[in-house]
Every structure is written in structure tokens, then in C-alpha cells.
Amino acid sequence: MVIEGVPRVFIYVVLAAATLLAALEVAVARGSASAPKADAPLTSPLRDMDQAIARGDVASAVTARREAYRAAIASRRWEGFLAAGDAILRLGDMTQSRSMAEPEARRLYLSALFRARGQQSLDGVLLATEAFARLGDRDVVEHGLRMARDLAGSDPEAQARVRLVEDRSFLSAGAGGDGSRGSEMRVAPRLIPSGAQP
């Protein structure tokens, strides 16, 4: 198929350039994903929040959670959003208002899921997917598993990690559930895939 008036060589050159640019973007994304992360701005408010929860100091825990949220946004990394989502659930458990904390945690986990996909992080997609499984959000779990399968590609080890999360996330085959948010799900404790840092 040749477009009228455009030489075939020109089309090949444009396709080759586009392929090189795509390969360069993947290389840059992989290089930045392995670069050390500055977690200190997020770690401190999370630690402060956990200490406040242990003391039963709700006001300090809420303040630290707000700081953790700001640090997650500033980090622009999936890890921060996942940690902030976990933190809001811990605070919800402390204040016996988990049902009110879940929508905020869900938003943070969704940000983590899409940032992880954008950063080509299989670990991030799997961990965010497991967070949704703990919330019982079957629809998002299925979507996260599709993302994870795409990222795993043909790598047998990565595919095995995706299958492990899938197996640990859903009830055994044949069990009911309408597939909607809040459906009964059985999940194992948080799985940290190989190479991931908590």
C-alpha cells in the first residue's frame, strides 16, 4: 500500500524512526524505574501516622495522613499512592469508620494502578490489584489482572506471578458472585512480587 505521491522509502524511514522512538521511551522508562526513589518525604508521615494510631491520637493520625497524601502526589510514583491508600484504611480501622475510608483508599489505589501501568511496573500493577482484591472490588481486580498480563508479555516468570495473584484473589472456580464491587472475595495477605520493595 503506497500513498499517492509519497515514495515508499519515505514511509519506511518514518516507520523506522517511530520504532526507534518507542524503543527509546521504553528504555528510558525502565531506567527511571530502577533508579533509587526518594521515599523519605512519604515514609516520615506514614511512620508518624502509625505511631499516632498506636497512641490512639486521632488528630495527629489525620494530620499525618494528609501529609502522606501530599507526599504521594508529590512523588508521582505508584508506591506513594499505594502506601497512602493503605494508610487511610488503617486510619479508618482505628476510628471505626472503614466504610467511609474505603472510597478514598479506592481512589488512591486507582491512581497507583494507572501510574504503575504508565511506569511499566508489573510489581505496581500486581500490588494495586491486590489492594482492590482486599476491598472486594472484583471488577477492578479483573481489569488490573488484564493490565498485568499485558505487562508480563511472554516472560514465563512474570506470567507465573500474575497467575499467583489471580489464584490468590478470587474464590475457587464455580463459586458465585455477581462480579460487582463488594462481591465476596478471598485474598491472601499482601504479596510482594520478586524485586519489589515494600
Measured between its terminal Cα atoms, the distance across the chain in Å is 51
φ, ψ (nearest 5 deg) of residue 85 = -65, -45
Per-residue pLDDT of 36-48, as tens digits, reads: 444 566 788 888 8
Question: Would you state the cell numbers that stand for residue 182, as one nine-digit string?
Answer: 463488594
Which pLDDT band holds residue 25 (cuts at 50, 70, 90)? low
Tens digits of residue pLDDT in 157-198:
999 999 999 988 874 222 333 334 344 443 434 444 444 443
pTM for this structure? 0.66
Cell of 137: 472490588
For residue 56, with 0-12 CB atoms within 10 Å meaning exposed, 13-18 middle and 19 or more buried, which class applies? exposed
